[in-house]
Structure 1
């Protein structure tokens, strides 16, 4: 559980998730409103998630 993990463990968790998000093949497009997600929407969603996680990671660095 992220909330109960040490700062070091939280940092590792965030770095792992960022690695998956930055991978070209680790995540596939899903469905959005019942239709296959467009490449543009997929890229936007991944970018927003990566930016949020990067901000969290920066807050953990002391």
Structure 2
């Protein structure tokens, strides 16, 4: 692990954020099962899901 508590907390929070993003993508945007065939279609499916997730995230973070 790391010697500094500050670094440990930063890394722990970073990992928690990544895990939350992956969980949101799999639950909300259907990345648990890709029904499209082929590598190119899979890349397109994942890319469109990530773009939709980011747009929704930016819309939530937009100041009112």
Structure with the bigger RCO (C-alpha within 8 Å, sep 6+) is 1
Q: What is the TM-score of this pair, normalised by structure 2?
A: 0.44
Q: Relative to total residues, which structure has the larger helix share, 1 or 2?
A: 2
Q: What is the TM-score of this pair, normalised by structure 1?
A: 0.45
**Higher Cα radius of gyration:** 2
Q: Relative to total residues, which structure has the larger strand share, 1 or 2?
A: 1
